[in-house]
Amino acid sequence: MNTICEETRREANEKIDKKARENQVLEILSDGIERTARQVAYEMQEKGFTNNAERNNASPRLTSLLEQRKVIVVGKTLDKITGKKEAIYKKS
């Protein structure tokens, strides 16, 4: 991979407060409604947590929260944008 690409990716990753982002995801899921990563990302933008609704704003944090057992996967659904299966999450 290109060194510049690696540097910019690392710099962007370091700027994100991962704990704050996890708390934002948990706040969205705290109403008990099950959501996909894309749906969580959309709500993150609506609440002003992010400036766009990219799925990647939520997906890495959901994976981390899943490892911490703070969220669980309750099913899967077809993502209408990608046409691929996507997990449905719920706060545990």
* Amino acid 36: pLDDT: 97
Model pTM greater than 0.85? Answer: yes
What domains, with CATH codes, occur in the chain? 18-91 (1.10.10)
pLDDT class of 75 with cuts at 50, 70, 90: very high
Tokens for 24? 């934002």
Measured distance CA(68)–CA(90) in Å, rounded = 13
pLDDT class of 5 with cuts at 50, 70, 90: confident
Q: What is the pLDDT of residues 29-43, one digit of tens each?
A: 999 999 999 999 999
pLDDT class of 9 with cuts at 50, 70, 90: confident
What type of residue sits at position 13? N
The SS3 of residue 81 is coil
* Amino acid 1: pLDDT: 61
